[in-house]
Amino acid sequence: MTLSVREATPSDAATILRFIRELADYEKAIHEVEATEEMVRASIFGEGSVTRALIAERDGAAIGMAVWFFSYSTWKAKNGLYLEDLYVTPAARGSGAGKALMRRLAQIALDSGCGRFEWSVLDWNEPSIRIYDAIGAEPQKEWIRYRMAGETLERFARG
């Protein structure tokens, strides 16, 4: 059984959307998914997109994904790599697919001159937290993540 990680292509849009929905269901937020296959295709693979994706495959079948983009650190004056979503199908968990996706992202970060590789995890997602701790990642407990979206974003932008 061969595990491989490759760059996603536009033909992977349906698979990426399926994985997004499965991840959202796991995170108890399926009701928040607005993405469609067309939106995924345009936002990840469209002209000018800054978002990228990787697909993990076992014997040619997609079993996981990572969606990422470059961020920027003013303090380091370097790009960073931000992992937006990491997902491995339930049947493939524990097979090394998640670690392979993370390792490929770490390689991309180094090859691209990034000063760091970051992501967020839900505080109740203990299996993922254990994995991140095991690979040497450090939680950034001094930071609180904020978000503005939807009507709040529109209202604030319009003053």
Say whether pLDDT at 1 is over 90. Answer: no
pLDDT digits 0-9 by tens, 36-51: 999 999 999 999 999 9
* pTM score: 0.93
132 belongs to the catalytic site: yes
Answer whether residue 3 shows pLDDT above 90. Answer: yes
The domain segmentation of the chain, as residue ranges, is: 3-120
Domain 3-120: give its CATH code: 3.40.630.30
Average pLDDT in the chain: 97
The secondary structure of the chain as a DSSP string is --EEEEE--GGGHHHHHHHHHHHHHHTT-GGG----HHHHHHHHHSTT--EEEEEEEETTEEEEEEEEEEEEETTTTEEEEEEEEEEE-GGGTTTTHHHHHHHHHHHHHHHTT-SEEEE---TT-HHHHHHHHHTT----TT-------HHHHHHHHT-
Catalytic residue among 26, 82, 132, 146: 132
Q: Is the pLDDT of residue 30 over 90?
A: yes
Please report the pLDDT score of residue 21 as a whole number.
98
Share of the chain above pLDDT 70, in %: 100
